[in-house]
Amino acid sequence: MTPRQQQFGNSARRAEAFGLGAAALIKGIGGYIGGSPSLLADALNSAADAFRGSTPKHTAGRAALTKALLSVLILVGALEAAIAGVHRMLRTPEEAPGTPAVAAFFLAVLLVLALFILRYRSLQRTDSAAAGEYAAEHRLSLYASFLVAAGMAASIAGSGFDIPEMMYAEPAASFLVAVIAVIKAIRLLLGVLEESPDARKAQPVDPTPFTETVQRVRGVIEVRELQAAKESETVSIDLVLSVNPRMTVKEAEEVANRSRDLLMNRFVQVIEVKIRIEPYHTGYPYKSNEELPDSEQPTIVQ
């Protein structure tokens, strides 16, 4: 990955994690002051999302241990919230969520929605598959927000119209939202296991789009071999190019550099390109997309 691509990706991930952390804090404070257990449970969902986005894909040693411990903390908090939700459903609800909880909910939802739209559009421009995975991960958070909104609205309506049965919607929503937080915490723990060195193996990738791109480079006669392997969200490429044997060593290096730059700029998931230049030797005349001037400089076959 080019330094610009890596810096942009890391900055976007940190910005999103910071925003989700702020949303979790808003939900937690608003839920505590406004008396909304469902909003408190939803704060754990945002905390899990922030934690997932802030940590690198591959961790080891102390970093992996820290990630596992924080995942366990979120899991324990979510389990306690689920148990508390059951206890609230077994007794008569006391009061509906207050104005601070409602205000905090809408503010947090707007913040999370803005972060999702920005990140999704950014991923869609570079990697549609990653954008789809990101949208699927966000779906659980969307369900949790719907549950919180429904629980708070039903509870407030039940309090206003003196319908005690509707006030059970808030503790019921807190239980369901806590279950979603438990699911997210378990996924975080499983992610730690999947990131172990034994579990991470590079997978082959279809080389067709990379081959078609390199064939457009001036000076390339043939893409003799191209192997692309994907690990996590990144791709590494090993490439063998055939060029005119009359081409000088310097010109061959320029062809290799142009090919590498084109691949890494067009495919942001490509982090490494290894190129080997070989002379094209399948009969005469040599096919070429450029005319080489006569030169006394050493060629790649000398």
Q: 193 versus 220: which is more confidently predicted?
A: 220
For domain 203-279, the CATH class is: alpha beta
Amino acid at 178: A
* Residue whose token pair is 């972060």: 115
- Rounded Cα distance between 21 and 197, Å, is 29
pLDDT for res 124: 82
pLDDT for res 283: 55
* Each residue's pLDDT tens digit, 129-166: 778 888 888 888 999 999 999 999 999 999 888 888 89
pLDDT for res 199: 46
pLDDT of 185 > 70? The answer is yes
pLDDT for res 168: 92
DSSP secondary structure string for all residues of the chain:
--HHHHHHHHHHHHHHHHHHHHHHHHHHHHHHHHT-HHHHHHHHHHHHHHHHHHS-S---THHHHHHHHHHHHHHHHHHHHHHHHHHHHTS-------HHHHHHHHHHHHHHHHHHHHHHHHHHHH-HHHHHHHHHHHHHHHHHHHHHHHHHHHHHHHHHTT-GGGGGHHHHHHHHHHHHHHHHHHHHHHHHHHTSTTT---EE---HHHHHHHTTSTT--EEEEEEEEEETTEEEEEEEEEE-TTSBHHHHHHHHHHHHHHHHHH-TTEEEEEEEEEE--SSSSPP-SSPPPP--S-BTT-
Handedness of CA 71, 28, 111, 170 (dihedral sign): positive
* Each residue's pLDDT tens digit, 80-139: 999 999 998 888 877 889 999 999 999 999 999 999 998 888 878 777 777 888 888 888
Does residue 48 contact residue 184 with C-beta atoms inside 8 Å? Answer: yes
Confidence bin at 3 (pLDDT 50/70/90): very low
Average pLDDT, the chain: 83
pLDDT for res 302: 52
pLDDT of 2 > 50? The answer is no
pLDDT of 188 > 80? The answer is yes
pLDDT for res 201: 61
* Residue whose token pair is 């008396």: 35
pLDDT for res 39: 94
φ/ψ of 235, rounded to 5, equals: -130, 135
φ/ψ of 226, rounded to 5, equals: -145, 120
Please report, for the chain, the start and end positions of each structural domain, with discontinuous segments joined by +. Answer: 3-194, 203-279
Cβ-proximal residues to 201 (8 Å cutoff; 6+ apart), any chain: 231
